[in-house]
A and B are shown apart, each in its own frame.
Chain A
Amino acid sequence: MQYQATAGVHTYQFKDLKEVLAKATPARSGDYLAGVAAETYAERMAARLCLADIPLKHILDTPIIPYESDEVTRLIVDSHDAQAFAAISHLTVGDFRDWLLLDSTDTATLTRVAPGVTPEMAAAVSKLMRNQDLILVAKKCQITTAFRNTIGLAGRLSVRLQPNHPTDDARGIAASMLDGLLYGSGDAVIGINPATDSIPALMDLYHLVDDVISQYAIPTQSCVLTHVTNQIQVMEKGAPVDLVFQSIAGSEKANQSFGINLGILKEAYEAALSLKRGTVGHNVMYFETGQGSALSANANFGVDQQTIETRAYAVARHFKPLLSNTVVGFIGPEYLYDGKQIIRAGLEDHFCGKLLGLPLGCDVCYTNHAEADQDDMDTLMTLLATAGITFIMGIPGADDIMLNYQTTSFHDALYLRKVLGLKPAPEFEQWLMQMNIMDAQGRVQPVTGQHAMLQNMPRHLLVAA
């Protein structure tokens, strides 16, 4: 196939599909760093014009990383559902955008088609979509998962409570957990990023969260975000593991840099399933991804960072996760420079994930060397919640004192629920009402010193200093 298009007086030639995809991508620093971005505004538009005319069937038949050398490509090709694809197999990328926006393309249709959409198709169409298109189509997708509560129902917004502490101090973690629960956060998961890699210390963290969940009978799940091989070890030692976590990326080589492959993920998935700890469902995996991770591992193969990010979602959906989120502004300004780039990337990742059938959440975040601030986060979280984001992060005051970045807070989640009329997962909502933390209208209730959770604190907080 010839890849070319005319913009103004100039006809632009592109040597292959991945070059068209890269040059059609809205400008971002990571693609310049990789040397794959369009050189002019006109070249970017020419790439989009070219992309709009490429048939989805051609994208399916043209792997951008070779089948023989990459297990993520093999997973994408081998798991493709031709029957689901039939409904859209006649479309070009441009037609696909139009089709997605039709009123007749409803939730049920999108659910049926999802297994026929490949990451490259999702990434391709997203490059032709404006932010409002990304919001509108994502909003029509509904992906429901369950473990001890039900995540992703219409009109709901869940929150991962992230009670990190720089030295994994049990009292510090318990104090942040209590703070988050009293602000109505924690229905997606209570998930700790540990500072340590030591197995005995990790075992203590699992018991810490499990004790709090049991003590207050909270319909939620826990996770300790250490390397998947550590999680396999603690499961063997009998730790109370609800969800298994791993960072994943969109090429075999990038996953190798994380010390994983599909085989290791499968082993962990089966081990977690065998524990049968879910009560209302059995989605036992939790994944994080982020634009820039493949390039930072020198494993991007000339593919733009948004397309290769979307390939990570094929890895995620294979393991039927309860949760998967992009960590959109975390890696730094060399990948997403400023608020504008972070906001666009967040909306793209959410749209692509939802189109592929993933329960996608977002760590709406930035670092202090990026040109961004909390106002940009307000904008992105509001847009994502409008688009039906499955979950966001909840950190005390939006300041993660262990990972040194800023994300969203318990207060932010309350703002979104209030402005957009969103509620927590239904089982968790019931619990919040029983505990007098939230009323039936979703308003947080005044908490006095006599509140049951303060009168009867987690034992980890009562241990003498």
Chain B
Amino acid sequence: MKIHRILRTALQALQRNPMRAMLTTLGIVIGVGAVIAMMEIGNGSSAAVQKSIASMGANTILVLPGTAASGGVSFGFGTSITLTPQDYEAILRECPAVSSAAPVVRARTQVVYGNHNWVPNTIFGTTPSFLEVRNWTDMADGEFFTERDVLNANKVCVLGQTIVRELFQGESPVGKEIRIKNISFRVVGVLASKGANMMGMDQDDIVLAPWTTIKYRVAGSMLTSTNQSSSSTTSSSDTSTSVNTLNTLYPGQTSLYPAQSTTQAADNPISVRFTYIDQILVNAASSSEIPAAIRQITATLRERHHIRENEDDDFNIRDMTEMTKMLTSTTSLMTNLLLCVALISLLVGGVGIMNIMLVSVTERTREIGLRMAVGARARDILRQFLVESVVLCLVGGGVGILLGHGGSYLVQMFLHWPIQNSPGAIAAAVIVSAGVGIIFGYYPAWRASRLDPIEALRYE
């Protein structure tokens, strides 16, 4: 029996009771429609949630230099000087999973404007890409500094809201000059407020300036003390001795190395062989690409730093595992929830189909008997009823897809919820509705095919 003829027979049979066929399909229509609408709305909001979590820095990877150690005392991450601006450029160039990166030079010192002073939580020397890495694209006022400012080590800076509040008391700071370690910086912009981060640290307590400026004009090294007056007293001493914690524990102890005289220092400057930076902030292209990004950065940096196979890295890479986990668990929770709802509604629709098909088989017993008498084999009958239920389900699925899509479109139009088209869900809906037709149509069809033609013909 040719397929188009089976289809036509099925359609004819369904046409004989259009009202019932319609009501039967309604279960599938509602099921599939609900699934599609939920998937599209769910995907949309899930993408929106992901985006907002990502703006908290979930995709950010932090590259720190390795540990420096002196005399058995290790100083913790970020104390050795191994990261260079060239590393930052190489990461951007060679790691495809990285969408943006920014070098960071840190300083912690006093900022002065007029008769106000303040020690910002963070003073970062960086590049304009910092904003992109931190998903911090809004400026409250003014402009961000430019690449040209970075190249020229211009004395310009951008302030966070907290600094503006503390130093300027509500005046617009743009165009004003502030002093950082007695160096005058022109304020070119004010960042939009970002609030506290997950650890409760105020992210608006920040001053951003070109990294070259901070590097060469403000921070002699990254380990500057917090206060300008005290830093002036220690500025002459070598950085490596000034941080030896044993000194503060045992004040009487002599330093490990004899202090250099001014002449000695002048004769043997601590040569910085290369310009180094304190950290590199990297943004992975997406949360799923974080592991790939970490792998690529590791490979790039190991090669650049000439590290042998069996040697340890001279740098450290950290990602926001906690936030990433939160992100993935949020999405998977949402997907699973939708899947459950989808399965339940389709199950209900399927039971409806089975019920009606069983009724239909009983009602059409004589027709089945007749078809068998004129030469239909059991498998022809099975196929006919199976095709009928699959047609019902597929039509229901098709209408459901249109309905669900229309529904989510209306939701977007009137409620302004974000939606996202989901071709996967549509394909799944088609497959699942055909599957429902086969699974729930099989038993009634099998019952029909097992009928005895003699009894079926005699059935009243």
A and B pair up: no
Residues on A lying within 8 angstroms of B by beta carbon are none
Residues in chain B within 8 A of chain A (CB atoms): none
